[in-house]
Amino acid sequence: MQARTTLVAIALLSATLLPAATLDKLDLALGRTEQTRIATPVYAGAPPLAVGAVTATFDRGAKIVRGSALHGPTYSLAPAIDIPALFARALREEGKAMGFAAPAAPEATWTVSATIRDYHIDSYQSSGWSAALYYGFLELDLELAKPGEESRRYHYRLNDYDAAFSFGTRRGSAENALTRLLVTGAQETLARLNRAVFKAGPAAGIDARLARIVESGVAGRENDLRLVALSGLPAAAPALLQRLPKELEAGRRADLVAALALLAAPEGVDAVVASYRREDEDVRCAAVKSWGAVADENALRHLRELGASDTDEHCKALAVWLLR
């Protein structure tokens, strides 16, 4: 993540020359970046998992990428793009990559079904014609069922951040941000369900990834950091908190706080409270995400008192969305 600056004149020119348009393709493969790609399992002993019905109730007629003259590109979504089908596919593919077993006998298989309540991107013009920041919002109602077990229902609000330099067109970067939101949303959904229900342990090698981060820092190890956070490794939160004050670059601190959010670690709730007003906006937005993930009384108090009054519109908008 990098600190943001706004060139108003260029943003106005971009908005004038690049009017609202329609996105007509989304490719999940583009959401699997160096940071988000899962090349080795994160769980050992994860159960068989199937994906059931995935539906959507969000307004398909609304802009799917939302900006303004000062805040980046705006796009609609072509009717032919089936977001529920794409998210179902993301759940299946990310689940397999994370280590969940293929569906087996019905009595041994969990089935997750979902309703997508909200799915959109807020865009922000950063530093010129091609640079834009994308803030993704994904709201889900989930049902988890297994024969012989009482079905369980969950409500998740997930978010993602992507910065892009598209060198001439922002359509591609907007499409990439939307697909990344589906990929990271599927990963985080499965990580939360594992933490709440499945209790699968970390795969071999996750502890070694954490040790490298603690010893040498986050830079160049962003993928390691994501895999550690998704795994739920018990030693991860205290180790990342130990590393946090050693990271001098705001972007790396933001990465660590975002990892604490994926871990939903209560011990991380107060990590940047004392320095919140002085921190870069990327760190503050990551802190807001972590408070929403933990959502205990202490975290919700920080969301109301700090996040919802943040001077950065995106940190504030995220806090308000998480408090709804």
User: What tens-digit pLDDT sequence spans the chain (324 residues)?
Assistant: 444 433 333 333 444 344 458 999 999 999 999 999 999 999 999 999 999 999 999 998 899 999 855 567 889 999 999 999 999 999 999 999 999 999 999 899 999 999 999 999 998 876 655 567 889 999 999 999 999 999 999 999 999 988 776 555 678 888 999 999 999 999 999 999 999 999 999 999 999 999 999 999 999 999 999 999 999 999 999 999 999 999 999 999 999 999 999 999 998 899 889 889 899 999 999 999 999 999 999 999 999 999 999 998 889 999 999 999
The closest alpha carbon to 141, from 118, 122, 120, belongs to 118
Classified as helix, coil or strand, 29 is: helix
Q: What pLDDT does residue 139 have?
A: 98
8 A C-beta contact, residue 229 and residue 236? yes
Bridge-partner residues for 155, per DSSP? 141
Question: Do 156 and 149 form a contact (C-beta atoms < 8 A)?
Answer: no
d(CA 165, CA 162): 10
Residue at token pair 């699968």: 200
Q: Are 272 and 287 in contact (CB under 8 A)?
A: yes
| CA atoms of 236 and 75, how far apart (whole Å) | 39
Distance CA 158, CA 118 (A): 10
Q: How far apart are CA 181 and CA 83, in angstroms?
A: 11
- So what's the pLDDT on residue 132? 79
Q: Map residue 69 onto helix, strand or coil.
A: coil
Q: Output DSSP code: residue 275.
A: T
Query: Hey, is 140 helix, strand or coil?
Result: strand
Contacts 24+ apart (CB under 8 A), 95-99: 95/49, 95/51, 95/186, 95/190, 97/38, 97/39, 97/41, 98/38, 98/41, 98/42, 98/43, 98/46, 98/187, 98/190, 98/191, 98/230, 99/41, 99/42, 99/43, 99/44, 99/46, 99/200, 99/203
**C-alpha to C-alpha distance for 90 and 31, rounded to whole angstroms:** 10
Return d(Cα 124, Cα 315) in angstroms, integer: 13
Residue spans per domain, the chain: 8-201, 205-323
Burial per residue of 57-95, b for 16 or more beta-carbon CB atoms within 10 angstroms, e otherwise: ebeeeebbbbbeeebbbbbbbeeebebeebbbbbbbbbb
pLDDT at 126: 67
* pLDDT (0 to 100) of residue 173: 86
Phi/psi for 3 (5° steps) reads: -65, 150
Cα torsion 284, 256, 318, 122: sign: positive
DSSP SS3 for 110: strand
CA distance 8 to 305: 30
Model-level pTM? 0.91
Do the Cβ atoms of 271 and 257 come closer than 8 Å?
yes
CATH of 8-201 among 3.40.50, 3.30.2310, 2.40.10, 1.10.3470: 3.40.50
Rounded to whole angstroms, the Cα distance separating 20 from 193 reads 37
Distance from first CA to last CA of the chain, Å, rounded?
26
